[in-house]
Structure 1
């Protein structure tokens, strides 16, 4: 019977027996399998089925089992019923059905199942499959960094690293997912897998791994943080970065890069010294070669670039000078490291194999496979410094050893939304320390995209440039002065947020997210669980960032922003730069943002440490914050926390700052305290107490006098962020308080502000007016309905509010409006009302619009392709039909009419086709086909020529060949000529005819 299970795919048979052993339950099944079930801790369970019955408990190095004792298992109780075996532990019942042999986990505190298998496990000698029931409003997250996606309901994801960095790429596969139903599952395997969350069969999740052993940990929790806490219990807590890692980094190649003279008019020219140069691979054309210390030519050296950063007033924090080159000149690297450290820049070292690190190396950039060894080596070499390892790929447990960074092809808007979703997915998969290169690894050349990319990435855990990998420079001053100044302003803003980011990193060790989807802080809003507003994210609980994701502009050339959602009907949001206030629970439209202005919103009630006990408060209701600090360089150090409480009640604001908790050696405990309290009007009276004693503090009438005072109060009617005053006048009002140095370990500060007013009018509800007529049904032009948009029109020029699927869209005027970024093949229920000021009409009747299917819904999947040419490494032939536009296939050799490229595409069955689309590469056009022929076959043997010697151009346009009414089992594509030395494509897509 057991031998049979090793050779044949079958379902797990009926449960026939069970016994309680020393530290696990042993279960027997009718098909011969034996399972071990472990109760490791409250809410952490393990099911292990090994067909060989070896039951190796420490199967991988990523799971930390030694920390668990036997207490949770010993306390568990078991009982049998007529049709099941029930293990009771804590508030949970793990129910093993007898026949069929399915598992349910019942939560007694909620009186419903957290998890339920829809059918028994499927086992074979090569893989296992688990089937889980999906609930109506259940959503799924995890799987690692699945670039472009974070919410997986209705999708299938791959648990396999695929070398693709763009949309659809799996940069960090993690065999771990969780559901908002309150459970997660971690598969203890390194084998590839696929997780199908209801795409193939609605209502059923299918988890497949190419592993004969089924080894799953089930993690229970009432919220994402609890589930991630349990994931970290098994795999290790995220590392705490040294503070310098939060600053700006630069990664480049100063070992082999060559430069040739150029002119300013060339788009990819870089100004170095007083002249312009471009990168080249032609040694004869080169006039200069990069080096570490100026061994070749100083102006092209790594040292010189550090000098340029400083000359441009950009504070540079860390630097990797040898990316892509296994540098072995230890002496030169050590000299560079010493110079960098003298310039307050921490030097790193890139490598892909185990090496001896150069002297004074502060950190490493390596692969995930040797990140653990790097961390141990760095820790060994300097016991007083906290180690830092960056890795360009990852897997289960990497968060305890390394931060994940990656690059992509820059210069396109699509990367913004893709990377936001990807980094959210990494956070939701247990890797909160993640960053993407500004404007990508290669490509680029669009100044607007470059600055918009820099802006939003200033609000991510890691900020850095990847240089010398393409034709365009990626440093933040590569473009004109206007772009450089905006980048510098955002970098200075990021410096103010260092303590905020550092605190988020510390909180992440306990399961809190750093970059968060909206549902993390607003769990009661259904839309937040989907990808509908997945272009936005929260940094911690206090900042909402809505990156500019396309080139749409208004009549002034400013970025046009629609579909900006600010959640929480009782929440006030404040534009960080202008101070404009918005009510939550609305989708804002027709917003304009100049190039310097990123949509960043502060949540009402937020409190920030702007650096050196300079606190910035946005009072609303009652709130508190905890600010973490320590000796960032120490490997093991004491720490301190500063708590601040804010409460507004009956037009009175009370701010309390207790003494800090904790301390560390040589910490400066005598510090002044500053507060900037946002307000709308001048208060009546301010009372300041120090350790319960009222302290008289003078109020000053000018900012200059206040700045020179040791202590003081100033009502500032021209407050704003100094870094941005050249772009926007300081028009906000704020109460500023400055207190002299005191011992912060013993000093309690209480500030009471009477007649306090901030944002009272923002959350006032609209008034329904009978004077305004209720609108008739708006019109929808069916010809303007697409998969992602539709246009709504109404008869009269007016301001309107439109409710779409219970979400209120505001800021709409005119006679029509186009809804963008919609989900294909989805019904939208709509109603509209007129609005004048704060008065609104009654709603119109409800009506519906259904978006069309996306083109990809008709794209044929699982196409087998063969070729007579070899493919380049990391650009395999499978990329040609994987339906991922971010992947790229390349041949190793060129073609000719005498030796053409032959590609054969085989479908799973005979298909009725509509068209074929050849998608060219997007970096350059040196591999585009110029002359092609197409033949089709219905039996796979006899071919009929469909198109002979088509002439194509080498450009950015997709090449479309109509195949209407063509039926085929195979399609043969012959390419006789290319625009370059190879042939390349992002994709060849075959579309079936619409039903």
Structure 2
């Protein structure tokens, strides 16, 4: 049974039965078993058809078939090309105009000569009409190229296929012709309205018009829904407490004597053919007042409208954080990925890989925003079966590197589990370290994470605080690369850009913007970031005026999407000249030579990929840094706050 089928204005015919439905309303309680896709044809339609086949190369090109549901004057332009090449772009195609003109019980169908050509076009074609009717027409007259054609009746579809200039009246077409013999489906009858078949001889369709005239054309399906007679009382609708939700309302009423079905008018739309005494309305807005008008319908007419008003409840997920993603340290079952745990759909589920022990494992949750945390709710399987989480520890973090324990859990059963963050910490990431679960798997229907009611979410990387992450934010980060807590510009909105909370604007912070730019990073899975950075000067002692050259290389690099480090130096001894990132592939150079508020100076070599770009991999020479020695000296530079970052925001420090 299907509900909520919208039919636009006009009359619509159920393709599988021939039943007629008025449009401009929503059809409900429509009989649609598993095999039946609701398929409606608008009255007046002209449908180009073909014989059943398994692939396009099997289509018969020497016959054209049109199925019609005549009403008034309608027309359709059929398009055809070689179906293979793009020659149609150069005008290699053909069009054919088909008209259907019905007035009362008189019908004329005309097929104009085809216009245009394409390579391989078959021009000699038979014409086959299938007219949907409810009674056998009285007279058929056909013309080909202006000449009248004598039509001969046949008694079967088989005879129709073999002949030409013939017709066949099929009183009860059986559509179930392809079920497996002996199967349950083979016993199902799918009988539609009668069809008048007319097959005309092949001619050159580019030169000849083909017409068919019908006398006594009738298409008047019997009314199957409105059959009862008698006066109708006005329904008494209500929306009870149990039928009121945040997103749903279900008006209900008692059965009205003699009613065949009911109708509800809501928000300017008519919901019709309701054979039950209730109808669910979904996808409503929380705390919204809705007005429904209900009436009963039968063959004698309709009852008076009755009105009921109801208000949806507050949204229980108002402060649930959306756009969450996650990962696990164990493999997950195909089709039941961890994303199912955060999609706000309690009808599907996440499950770790079947037949593979998962426990112990970590479930890492990326809120994709920074929030003050209130609680999370874990919805286990309804049967509390395999994978239902049992015991573990909850952590939170800003950068996936520095984790802070929030507490432990010890759960049993299938009821909703709630974990409260008593201190309301601010975080971007959560980690559930699971040490016990049913069957040593992991599973769940949903995991909702709630922020503190009324608190604001911060989008990582939105350093300009305009609720967008774009090139403007990257420009700001370029200006603030290397800015530290204590610098005069750091406090205030810039400090929000310090996503890992280490008191420094670095490659991790900038990556929050960079991975979202251009087309964003791909969904292709890559290993976690790894590797070492070696920073070696060309020699240890320099004379005044000499160029100090420092070579930076990588060893065992893996999935490096960004890197940065600090290189403090004494401006009395060295003058920064420049940096050449010859081995940094397509990364943007955001290096900043910064004078801090306390008078110290440091170079901040910083490189990041924007969007999906090649990562740094293996052993490679990365960059060369140059200074000018202001006096003779023994070089003594120390690297601080070095980090490698991957596209998942994992970091390795050096």
Quickly name the TM-score band, shorter chain normalised.
Answer: 0.5 to 0.7
Written as runs of structure 1 = structure 2, the 5 A alignment for 1:664-675 is 664-675=118-129
The C-alpha deviation readout for 1:193-236, integer Å capped at 9, x for no partner, is xxxxxxxxxxxxxxxxxxxxxxxxxxxxxxxxxxxxxxxxxxxx
Alignment of 1:684 with 2:123, yes or no, is: no
CA contact 2:97–2:112 (8 Å) conserved in 1: yes
Q: Is the 8 A contact 1:688 1:695 kept in 2?
A: yes
Q: CA shift at 1:732, angstroms?
A: 1.7
Give the structure 1 partner of residue 299 of structure 2.
837
Q: Could you say which residue in structure 1 is the equivalent of 2:47? A: 608
For the structure 1 residues 838 and 597, does the alpha-carbon distance in structure 2 shift closer, same or farther, using more than 3 Å as the test? Answer: farther
Deviation at 1:785, TM superposition (A): 1.1
* 755 and 987 in structure 1: CA distance in 2 versus 1, 3 angstrom threshold: same
Whether 2:93 is the aligned partner of 1:639: answer: yes
Matches within 5 A, 1:116-515: none
Task: Give the total of aligned pairs.
Answer: 415
Pick from 406, 428, 435 the counterpart of residue 976 of structure 1.
Answer: 435
Return the alpha-carbon distance in structure 1 between the equivalents of residues 265 and 396 of structure 2: 49
Aligned twin of 1:960? 417
2:338/2:350 contact within 8 Å kept: no
C-alpha distance in 1, partners of 2:65/2:158? 18
Q: Does 1:810 align with 2:272?
A: yes
Check whether the contact 1:920–1:987 (CA below 8 A) recurs between aligned residues.
no
- Superposed, 1:724-739 pairs within 5 Å as 726=186, 727-739=188-200
* CA distance in structure 2 between the aligned counterparts of 1:967 and 1:699, rounded to whole angstroms: 84
1:740 equivalent in structure 2: 201
Which of residues 240, 249, 257 in structure 2 aligns to 1:781? Answer: 240
Cα distance in 1 between the residues matched to 2:36 and 2:265: 28
Q: In the TM superposition, what is the alpha-carbon distance from 1:975 to its structure 2 partner? A: 2.4
Instruction: Say whether residues 1:950 and 2:402 are aligned partners.
Output: no
> In the alignment, which residue of structure 1 is the partner of 2:500?
none
SS in 1 for 2:194: strand
TM superposition shift of 1:562? 1.6
How far did residue 739 of structure 1 move? 0.8
Corresponding residue of 2:3? 562
Compared with structure 1, are the counterparts of its residues 577 and 942 closer, same or farther at alpha carbon in structure 2 (3 Å cutoff)? Answer: closer
Asked whether the equivalents of residues 362 and 432 of structure 2 are also in contact (C-alpha less than 8 Å), the reply is no
Q: Using the alignment, how far apart are the partners of 1:576 and 1:817 within structure 2?
A: 28
- The equivalent residue for 2:27 is 588
The answer as to 2:392 corresponding to 1:932 is: yes
Alpha-carbon separation, structure 2, partners of 1:625 and 1:640: 14
Query: Post-superposition shift, 1:682?
Result: 2.4
Match of 1:819 in 2: 280
Question: What is the CA–CA distance in structure 2 between the aligned matches of 1:683 and 1:864, rounded to whole Å?
Answer: 64
Displacement of 1:692? 2.7
Aligned-pair distance for 1:622? 2.2
* CA deviations over 1:509-563 (Å, ceiling 9, x no partner): xxxxxxxxxxxxxxxxxxxxxxxxxxxxxxxxxxxxxxxxxxxxxxxxxxx2122
User: How has the CA–CA distance of structure 1 residues 636 and 907 changed in structure 2, closer, same or farther, with 3 Å as cutoff?
Assistant: closer
Structure 1, gaps ≥5 residues long: 1-559
How much has 1:643 moved relative to structure 2?
2.1
TM-score of the pair, normalised by structure 2: 0.53
Whether 1:723 and 2:183 are equivalent positions in the alignment is: no
Question: 1:871 Cα deviation (Å)?
Answer: 9.8
Contact 1:787 1:854 (C-alpha < 8 Å) held by counterparts: yes
User: Cα–Cα, structure 1 residues 905 and 737, in superposed 2: closer, same or farther, change >3 Å?
Assistant: closer
Partner residue in 2 for 1:621:
72
Q: Any idea what SS the aligned residue of 2:279 has?
A: strand
C-alpha distance in structure 1 between counterparts of 2:40 and 2:6, whole Å = 11
Correspondence list, 1:907-922, <5 A: 908=370, 910-913=372-375, 915-917=376-378
CA distance in 2 between partners of 1:721 and 1:888 (Å): 41
Q: Compared with structure 1, are the counterparts of its residues 780 and 973 closer, same or farther at alpha carbon in structure 2 (3 Å cutoff)? A: same
TM-align CA RMSD? 4.8
Q: Is the 8 A contact 1:577 1:720 kept in 2?
A: no
Question: Does the C-alpha gap of structure 1 residues 968 and 871 become closer, same or farther in structure 2, counting only changes over 3 Å?
Answer: farther
Relative distance call for 1:700 and 1:866 in structure 2 (3 A) is closer
Q: Distance in 2 between matches of 1:866 and 1:751?
A: 66
SS of 1:661 mapped into structure 2: coil
Q: 1 or 2, which has the higher helix percentage? A: 1
Cα distance in structure 2, aligned partners of 1:865 and 1:723: 48
Name the structure, 1 or 2, with higher relative contact order (CA <8 Å, separation 6+). Answer: 2
Deviations 1:942-966 (A, max 9, x none): 98976x451457xxx6852264998
CA distance in 1, matches of 2:75, 2:324: 56
Note the C-alpha offset of 1:656: 0.5
Q: 1:702 to 1:848 in 2, by over 3 A?
A: same
Q: Distance in 1 between matches of 2:125 and 2:291?
A: 57
Which residue in the other structure is 1:858 paired with? 319
Cα separation, 1, equivalents of 2:120 and 2:368: 70
Question: Which ranges of structure 2 fall in alignment gaps of 5 or more residues?
Answer: 51-62, 180-185, 455-654
1:651 partnered with 2:124: no
Match of 1:801 among 232, 244, 263: 263
Residues 1:833 and 1:684: Cα distance change in structure 2 (over 3 Å): same
8 Å Cα contact 2:143-2:211 kept in structure 1: yes
- Aligned: 1:599 with 2:38: yes
Asked if residue 848 in structure 1 is aligned to residue 309 in structure 2, the reply is: yes
